[in-house]
Amino acid sequence: PDGKSLGCLDDSNDGLITVTLTGTAVAEGKLTAYARYTCCPQDFQPDRRPFVSIADGLSNLVKREEVLESDFIGNWPETEKDIADLMQRVRETMEASNLDHQNLRSKLGNEAFSGNPDEPFDPVAPRPGHPLPLTELGRMNHARFLAYEVFKQRLGQRPELFKQWIRNPLAEPQPYDTQMPALMRGSDSAPMYITQRQYYLMQKWLEIVKNSLENGDV
């Protein structure tokens, strides 16, 4: 009502359609029927999950701030499982993406957004046996982080990579760049990002990992 968005579940919604018939030919003068419609994530890739799920979207809407509470990360093994699962879903998303095409699409988006026609990643020419070189490179790079300990050590030793790699959902919309999730279009037509709750969770996780490494606990 006040013109402010409460958030969204991208590609997910439902609604109710009501049809009412009236007139002398209708029993009791009025007859109403209802039908519900739904739109949900695609079902054509059952072995792939999005890195922002319906559950992530709902949690971001109703309990976004809880991850900022000092005692939120009390069950450390569960937190590590959440981070490892997120990286798994990121890789699964990568497996369903054509980065070479998305890189070109992002270039067109940047030209419309800022007049800058640059592609986020330098295009790589295909060669025999490697028709999608950017896609292949992206999948290879993300495969390393399926090993949770590798991801944990990398960010713990270089925490500045978090801000360099991950797009901040609270930042002003920018042209498509190499920040993650790269080359993906969000529901607001700007580059996509993880939810604020996911971003906060990763920040808290990284803070603990960094301190643990500095103190020799890991």
Spatial separation of the C-alpha atoms in residues 53 and 50, rounded to whole Å: 6
Coil vs helix vs strand at 3: coil
User: What is the C-alpha end-to-end distance of the chain, expressed in Å?
Assistant: 50
Q: Residues 181, 194: contact at Cβ < 8 Å?
A: yes
What is the Cα–Cα distance from 197 to 172, expressed in whole angstroms? Answer: 17
| Residue 181 located in a structural domain | yes
Count of domains in the chain? 1
Is position 134 within any domain?
yes
More confident residue, 117 or 158: 158
User: Is 41 inside any structural domain?
Assistant: no
CB 198 within 8 A of CB 57: no
- Report pLDDT for 29: 81
Instruction: Convert the pLDDT of each residue in 166-205 to its tens digit.
Output: 999 999 888 899 999 989 988 777 899 999 999 999 999 9
Give the single-character DSSP code of 159.
T
What pLDDT, on a 0 to 100 scale, did the predictor assign at position 194?
Answer: 94
The answer to whether residue 5 sits within a structural domain is no
Average of per-residue pLDDT values in the chain: 86
User: Does residue 6 form part of some domain?
Assistant: no
Q: Give 100's pLDDT tier (boundaries 50, 70, 90).
A: very high
- Using only the alpha carbons of the chain, give its radius of gyration: 22
Q: How far apart are CA 123 and CA 140, in angstroms?
A: 17
Contact 180, 193 (CB under 8 A): no
As a whole number, mean pLDDT of residues 105-115 equals 82
Q: Residues 120-154: pLDDT tens digits?
A: 999 889 999 999 999 999 999 888 888 999 999 99
Look up tokens 């049809």; give the residue.
19
Which pLDDT tens digit goes with each residue over 74-83? Answer: 888 899 999 9
Q: Is residue 53 included in any domain, yes or no?
A: yes
Closest among 55, 25, 26, 28 to 40, alpha carbons compared: 55
Share of the chain above pLDDT 70, in %: 91
Upper half-sphere CA count for residue 208 (Cβ side, 13 Å): 16
Q: What pLDDT does 196 receive?
A: 94
Going by C-alpha positions, the residue among 173, 170, 167 that lies closest to residue 190 is 173
- Structure confidence at residue 8 (pLDDT): 56
User: Is 129 part of any domain?
Assistant: yes
Dihedral (CA of 199, 51, 90, 179) sign: negative
- Is 60 in contact with 196 (CB distance < 8 Å)? yes
- Tell me how far the alpha carbon of residue 6 is from its chain's centroid: 17
Question: By residue range, what is the domain housing residue 151?
Answer: 49-214
The 3 state secondary structure assigned to 28-81 is HHEEEEEEEEEECCCCCCCCCCCCCCHHHHHHHHHCCHHHHCCCCCCCHHHHHH
Task: Examine residue 141 and state whether it is found in any structural domain, yes or no.
Answer: yes
pLDDT band at 40 (very low <50, low <70, confident <90, very high): low
